[in-house]
């Protein structure tokens, strides 16, 4: 496993991808979904963030699935425990990541940064 050497650059790249992909699936609702996802992550944690993506309505499901996939890819690229080859991010958080507080806090911080970048980028996409 290769861990990305510059985590902020990784967050910026994934944030851009999240905005582009979620916007392509949700249109003008992309910024709102990303902002809600960020709020849930900040208030309730990594597990709740992934659970929120899975629980979305049919109208939001495609965009939420893209966000879940890219968030998982971010954590995998950063070398976060449990995300080496995750097929189920909820299981990865529950069974491995939750057992390592340092890794859990790093994962949360990385996701927050990527979602902040994604939110600003999605707002810019709405203006185009």
Please state the pTM of the whole predicted model.
0.92
Residue-by-residue pLDDT tens, the chain, 128 positions: 445 569 999 999 999 999 999 999 999 899 999 999 999 999 999 999 999 999 998 889 999 999 999 999 999 999 999 998 878 999 999 999 999 999 999 999 999 999 999 999 999 998 76
Q: Which CATH architecture fits 7-126?
A: Orthogonal Bundle (1.10)
Q: What is the pLDDT of residue 116?
A: 97
Q: What are the tens digits of pLDDT across the range 60-86?
A: 999 999 999 999 999 999 999 999 887
CB 76 within 8 A of CB 69: no
Helix, strand, coil % over all residues of the chain, rounded to 5: 80, 0, 20
Task: Please state the domain extents for the chain.
Answer: 7-126
């Amino acid at each position: 496993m290769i861990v990305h050497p510059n985590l902020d650059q990784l967050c910026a790249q994934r944030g851009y991808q999240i905005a582009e992909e979620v916007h392509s699936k949700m249109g003008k609702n992309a910024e709102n979904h990303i902002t809600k996802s960020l709020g849930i992550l900040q208030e309730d944690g990594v597990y709740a963030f992934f659970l929120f993506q899975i629980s979305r309505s049919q109208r939001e499901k495609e965009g939420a699935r893209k966000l879940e996939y890219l968030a998982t890819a971010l954590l995998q690229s950063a070398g976060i425990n449990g995300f080496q080859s995750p097929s189920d991010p909820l299981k990865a958080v529950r069974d491995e990541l939750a057992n390592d507080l340092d890794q859990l806090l790093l994962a949360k911080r990385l996701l927050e940064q990527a979602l902040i970048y994604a939110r600003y980028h999605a707002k810019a996409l709405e203006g185009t």
